[in-house]
Structure 1
Amino acid sequence: MNLLIKSATIVDQNSKYNGKKVDILIEKGIISSIKSQIQNSHNYKEFNRDNLHVSLGWFDSSVSFGEPGYEERETLENGLKTAAFSGFTDIILNPNTNPVIDSATDINFINTSTANHAVNVHPLGSLTKSAKGIDLAEMYDMKKSGAVGFYDYKKSIENANLVKIAIQYSQTCNTLVCVFSEDEKIAGTGVANEAASSTHLGLKGIPALAEEIQVGRNIYLTEYTKGKLHLPTISTQEAVTQIKNAKKKGIDISCSVAIHNLFLDDSLLAEFDGNLRVSPPLRTKDNNKALIKAVKEGAIDMVTSDHNPIDIEDKKVAFEHAKNGTIGLESAFGALNMLFGFNIAITLLTKGRERFGIETPSLEIGSTANLSLFNPDGAYIFNEDNIYSTSKNSAFIGHELKGTVYGIVSNNKLVQNK
């Protein structure tokens, strides 16, 4: 692919071109020139949009589709199109399919099915067989087939010894174990954050303690094994404090937060909208402020859309019967741009690859083009017209977001929105 990107402002804190408006020439998928003006002497395809900005390709550490098994929620093909239209060049794909991804054969299926796409798919394998939390899955074989880590998506593992052994074993194959932190016995049958709002609405609460006690346990296991661990989608201020203290002690721990747990809070549950039922639950505004501060300070390592398509039949029901999950790829940039401004938003959207052993691209001459194309200006109300996913279960519907994604350049391909 040969492409000339015209009049683009580069957003990359690590590049000498940061903040400059330039033309970018891409030849056979490689950035061959970056100048204030480049003549199109070879009559290459040109890309020119209003207020065009360019950054390194965006990365999301927690994305779910449906295939295999839940194709009615989202196929791999449409999911990857959604990711590209939303500005993402790299995604970590969760193993919560049917059957779950827990063998080398399953990893090979994902890799074969997503090969030759503009979006790079980095699959996770289930940490335990069938994600039942009883026996470890074939970690070494999955690693050899291309798994970048292991995770029983949204399932806390009750057996602490199993987590200990998993962390120890992961060191032999140099890969990352991810563990969801929620004590299921404490969470019980709760459906919302335990607070004044849940009491007022008559909803069974999930106390913050359910997360915090598990975070503490998982930190201790990491310290004991001298291994490394990733805690996806934490949601409480105390969990952040524990992780910060662990890092100060030199424990190799990392964490992410879902964008909806930064942007939305439990006061919205008065609508009893099933799209707002997520795991971990939406918490208080004060808690959100603490999480936002932790993101700015770097105590939280990365943000994620935690994109999780769910059938309409499982969302258009009474709140307490709705399944957990919201899609989030399409709203990720707009929400972060509203919260932090586009410079910080882009920094957040390009962080996290190295933790999973994925090389971070560069925006320099001679580099393979891995770029996201966008306009950071322009507020709008997010609605179903902004959704590319087959499932429409977005917690962001009706909320004001900011900025437009134009597409991506990756793997020698240009994918652009209409």
Structure 2
Amino acid sequence: MKKIGLIFISLFLFLSACSQMEGTSSDVGESWEDIVAAADGSVVKIFMWGGDEGINRYMDEWVAPYVKSEYGVTLERVPMDTGEILQKLQTEKAAGKEEGTIDIIWINGENFKNAKNGELLYGPIQEILPHFASYYDTESDVYSYDFGTEIAGLEAPWGKVQFVFNYDEEKIPNPPTTVEELVAWVEENPGKFTYPNPSDFTGNAFLRHILYSSAGGYETFLEEGFSEELAEDSSQELWTILNDMKENLWRSGDTYPSDLTELDRLYSQGEVWMTMGYNEARAGHMIEDGVFPETTKSFVLEDVGSIGNTHFLAVPFNSPNKSGALVAINALLSPEAQYVKMTDEYWGESTPISLDKLDDEYRQKFEGIERSEAVLSKEELDASFVPEIDAGYVEWLKEQWTDEVVEKP
């Protein structure tokens, strides 16, 4: 009887595992062909940050027509900050709303960690996408962990970025190259520098660069996950630097741009002489679009480096069109879409595709992309690359900044 019971339990566990494995595909069909057929003629809504004109044009002018012509899917872009997207999904989850209005979200970092912990995502999806299997390094930790959080297949890689500063060469012939030089430059040029509120991911990334400097390097934070004790011990110099800079910032630090869009506007109007961002190549299309002055160039802080990461696409738990979402994501991972995204005409960011997995024609096309003179060389970017740290530091910096900087006299 004991042996029969063990067999029964083993069979039960096996069937349960099969059921869980089928949980992903049961909503979308048993094969990729089924998924594509179900998606044909449907509408897919992608909710994403809308603060970059080049990205928006890429989605509206190239991606949407491409997805429509190749798969018969109508892709609609809905601009919304990721934090607001997650709040919407959390509300729907709490209300038991099984069919929402969001099919795809652009996500990474602490937002992914919160979405995963809140069970707001559908999946795993990586294993379903043919283009991910064909053109990406499926064994890489880059696509297994997002800011230290295990991805578990819940999101698919869309792009790679590095943080750079953009400046007007006509006004700043010799930009600072270290944190110390940046602080000195701000003091010598009062009102001509600021950074976004750290609730915005660009502003938070700026703080993390200064944190790396004050801690003596990023390595300090990689030995373990988020540690509040380590954060407090390593951040004293960070708050000193930010408070020393404050009176010489734009509007004397009494207010900060709410996001990168506002900082870009100040830069384009000449109110400040620098901007910044998580896209090493966006200056190219911003100049092309007439937003940034033609004398715009880029730099990184050589003593700290340039934080880089991968960003992803995911499907919410209650997407009303999961088949269409998967088809659209697969299209966005294609060599065609990644190549156009990498050109300065639209976005200009780097690709997560493995070039050695491409055929000769496309590999040569990628290698032949010429970037704007405003963009740092691949060699400079590679040499300055430093990794992200646990997403817990992002939230901690956001909260502490208010106490340590905003509310300090």
Smaller-chain TM-score bracket: under 0.3
Per the normalisation by structure 2, the TM-score is: 0.24
* Greater share of residues in strand: 1
Q: Which has the higher contact order (CA 8 A, sep 6+)?
A: 2
* Greater share of residues in helix: 2
- Larger-gyration structure (1/2): 2
Per the normalisation by structure 1, the TM-score is: 0.23
